Amino acid sequence: MTQNTHDSDTAFIAALAALLTSNDLTEIEVTRSSGDDNMLNVRVSRQMTAAPVQAPAPVQHVVAAPAVAAPAPVSSDPSSLPGVVASPMVGTVYLQAEPGTPAFVTVGAQVAEGQTILIIEAMKTMNQIPAPRAGTVKRILVEDGRPVEYGAPLMIIE
């Protein structure tokens, strides 16, 4: 392999690493072919820290977040908070159906059991999350467009 090819491969790998970081990705894999016998297979990955990382929101969901109550201290056991609604899946939370529309619920709103309180996007599927019980929304513990983990507290309904 010539020095020129090596330099271009190194620059290509550096560009992939920058793409990985700038888009908060954990892994990217690319195969580049430059003729019949010249192929480059590259897999770049990085280990994420334990702190949650904000994933970029899809372009169609870039809007100002509605007013939300200040987040409560997150307990390691979400079930310890009274009236907590925990996330049933991993995904991205959306507090409204579409950009520019009102939020499903706001702090102080009365909700009925089964009423949609937010959407979690998982694997390009929008999953409506229903209220598990009737009551008043006391706190909204998540921000629009932010990732959530399974079991993470979403809001408190009492």
Is residue 88 within 8 Å of 154, Cβ to Cβ?
no
The per-residue pLDDT for 51 is 47
Q: Do residue 67 and residue 119 come from a single domain?
A: yes
Q: Say if residue 150's pLDDT is above 70.
A: yes
Q: Do residue 102 and residue 141 come from a single domain?
A: yes
Q: Say if residue 9's pLDDT is above 90.
A: no
Distances (CA, A) of 59 to 28, 56, 62, 129: 21, 9, 5, 22
Is residue 156 within 8 Å of 111, Cβ to Cβ?
no
Q: Do residue 65 and residue 41 come from a single domain?
A: no
Give the structural domain span for 25.
3-45
The per-residue pLDDT for 115 is 93
Q: Say if residue 84's pLDDT is above 50.
A: yes
For the chain, give the percent of residues with pLDDT over 90: 42
> Is there a domain that residue 52 lies in?
no
> Is there a domain that residue 53 lies in?
no
Structural domains counted in the chain: 2
In this prediction the pTM is 0.50
Q: Say if residue 3's pLDDT is above 70.
A: no
CATH number for the domain spanning 134: value is: 2.40.50.100
pLDDT digits (tens, 9 = 90+) for 86-141: 999 999 999 999 888 999 999 999 999 999 999 999 998 999 999 999 999 999 99
Q: Tell me how long the chain is.
A: 158
pLDDT digits (tens, 9 = 90+) for 44-62: 666 655 445 555 555 454 4
Q: Do residue 25 and residue 101 come from a single domain?
A: no
